[in-house]
Amino acid sequence: MDFEPWWLIFLPLLFALGWIAARVDIRQMLSETRTLPNSYFKGLNFLLNEEPDRAIDAFVEVAKLDPETTELHFALGSLFRRRGEMERAIRVHQSLLSRADLAQADRETAQHELAQDFLKAGMLDRAEQAFEQVLDTRFAVPAVRALIRIYESEHDWPRAIEAVKRLRALVDEPVPQLVHYQCERAVAAMAVKPPNNPAAEEALDAADNAAGAMRGQARGQASEARIAMLRAHLARLNQKPERELSYLVSVLNIAPEYASLVAADILESYRRMGQQVEGLQLLRNHYMRYPSLDTFNVVFRELRAQEGHKVAWAFAREALRAHPSLLGLDRLLEAELASAQASAAPGAPAGAGAPGGNAIASVATAVDIAAGADLSLLRSLIHKHTQRLDRYSCRVCGFEARNFYWQCPGCNSWETYEPRRLEEMK
């Protein structure tokens, strides 16, 4: 490339223009710096020195001096909410909403932030109203999700179901808890006096439709098991024992691991129909394939009642060898002691509780314990160590409970309780 003399004129011009632009930027930066309050720099200094409380106070002072700093207001409000200072967070967001010159986008953001403040503060009524005001904004999806949580915590199942329908109209995603909302409606309908059986039937049909999308999945199996259990209860209210038994037995096929929740009801249903032998055989066969402590307990007690302690204890020894369990032994001793007390009660027929008329001695023979051993002492020692194992546990938050829950009382998650005791899960 040839050198052109006029480039000598062009290069100094470019340098001069760059120098002028730099001077303008520096002056603008200095001007903006002078307009920032000293509290802003104090806040930054406190943050750098890891003094968050003093930094917050400094930034609050900045917000008071310069109301136009909306982003700083949002940052402070969010920070207050995370720290649990709900009154201050609410005050920050309400002060933003009170400004007449606030841009529409910022107003929607402030309204959504305020709704979250109310929700975290436990002010559900005000949170519900605040979320409803942003349903037609870009915050519609998180607002509907929050409303679902609010209705769920209030056990307002019809409104929760409507909110789920609205969510599914906004986003294409499954909502597994919808099955349980319908089941809760059925439970409420059957709990009134007299039971509203038609409403319960309609709710269970809706639950079955909702569960259809999840069939073949683990969560779908649990949901269908609950529906079958509720239909069995409804059939009992309608005095239809055959249908009740059919629904209960179906749980063994739908979700075999949930047999422990229905084993006692299955046996009782067979007994009312005069078929307790068939019921015992069904549960015994199921236990051999899907062992669980509750099913074991039901089978042992019924074996003892139908065939005597020797057969029952032979089953128990075999089961405990295959699946060693302190809880299982605890429940065996509990059953035997109850039988011994019944046989020793005044007016009890001779030989009650165990062949030979001496329940304690028969137990000692069955378990090879020396004659005269204090089984009540043995049971109390074992029971002391098994109390903490005789619980269900949430796999999300670890909340433990003696009763089985479809929704965890600790974290409100659905289907997070395994139908097995703690000892069985170790």
Residue 216 falls in which region: left (phi positive, over 0), alpha (psi -120 to 50) or beta:
left
Cα 391 from Cα 373, distance rounded (Å):
29
Structure tokens at 181: 């909302």
Task: Tell me the CA distances in angstroms from 368 to 38, 313, 352, 354, 373, one per residue in order.
Answer: 85, 11, 21, 16, 10
Q: What is the DSSP string of 113-136?
A: HHHHHHHHTT-HHHHHHHHHTTTT
Q: What is each CA distance from 267 to 232, 245, 279, in whole angstroms?
A: 13, 9, 5
76 CB-contact burial (10 Å; exposed 0-12 / middle 13-18 / buried 19+):
buried
Query: What's the number of CA atoms in the CB half-sphere (13 Å) around residue 260?
Result: 18
Task: Enumerate residues 6+ apart whose C-beta is below 8 A from 132.
Answer: 143, 147
Distance from C-alpha of 337 to C-alpha of 369, rounded to nearest angstrom: 14
Residue type, 413: S
Rounded-to-integer distance, Cα 223 and Cα 162, Å: 20
| Sheet strands (E) in 316-374 | none
Tell me whether residue 183 is annotated as binding. no
Q: How many CA atoms lie within 13 A of 236 on its CB side?
A: 18
Contacts of 405 (CB under 8 A, 6+ apart): 392, 417
Measure the CA–CA gap between 144 and 150, rounded to whole angstroms.
10
Are 89 and 80 spatial neighbours (Cβ–Cβ below 8 Å)?
A: yes
CA 373 to chain centre: 45
The residues pairing with 401 across neighbouring beta strands, listed in sequence order, are 392
Residues 120, 126, 128, 132: is their CA dihedral positive or negative? negative
Residue showing tokens 């999300």: 396
Residues that constitute the known binding site for Fe cation: 394, 397, 408, 411
Annotated binding-site members: 394, 397, 408, 411
